[in-house]
Amino acid sequence: MNSLPPPSPSPFDRSEQRRLRSIKILQVAAEMFNKKGFGGTSLEDVAAELKISKASIYNYFENKQSLLFHVYLRAFELTAIASERAEQQEGSGLDRLVTFITTQVELMLDPDHGPVAVLSETSSLTPEDRQTIQAMARRQDERVRAFIEQGMRDGSIRAENATRVEFLIMGMLNWIPKWFHIGGEWTKNDISASVVQMIVHGIGAPQ
């Protein structure tokens, strides 16, 4: 059920409670933006889903644009975790790419972390926030492309162009939250296994 954690009576827990309540707002907003779009989702809709007042959201976010920006920031925070885990992985470029994919899917689709928003409405951000998100996207592309380029060098990945492969992989991953429903018929492990199988059989060098 979508509802915010209750306020803590302890002043020592208030900052953590605020963080958890903020994350819950971001999760619900991300799900609604994915389903109805930024223009089709109001703060009243988000508040109603969370069973709080619209005014309560303003305690965390300045306006709907700010909410969208922070929803996108959270998506990149989770992707950065997946990249870091892959970079720490020993092995081939393909090994690191598979680690990135499985971790990314796990985080995106885990109820404690996801859902995250599909990055399809950056035009609705302020110019400054749009530049921030675009810069983060470029940096993330570079990190994933590095796994592919390593694989091309060490022979674990067969591809002619690392950039094209990276765009295809990220496009596939980034669209999953648009259609995946947490608690539905398929699990995050099902999705992760399917994506890895497609990647390994598509670009993995014959073993």
CATH architecture of 65-203: Orthogonal Bundle (1.10)
The Cα–Cα gap between 116 and 104 comes to 11
For residues 75 and 116, is the Cβ–Cβ distance under 8 A?
yes
Domain edges within the chain:
65-203
Per-position pLDDT tens, the chain of length 207:
565 655 555 555 778 888 889 999 999 999 999 999 999 999 999 999 999 999 999 999 999 999 999 999 999 999 999 999 999 999 999 999 999 999 999 998 887 887 888 888 999 999 999 999 999 999 999 999 999 999 999 999 999 999 999 999 999 998 888 888 777 788 888 888 888 888 877 766 666
- Within 10 A of 103 (CB to CB), how many other CB atoms are there? 20
**What pTM was computed for the model?**
0.85
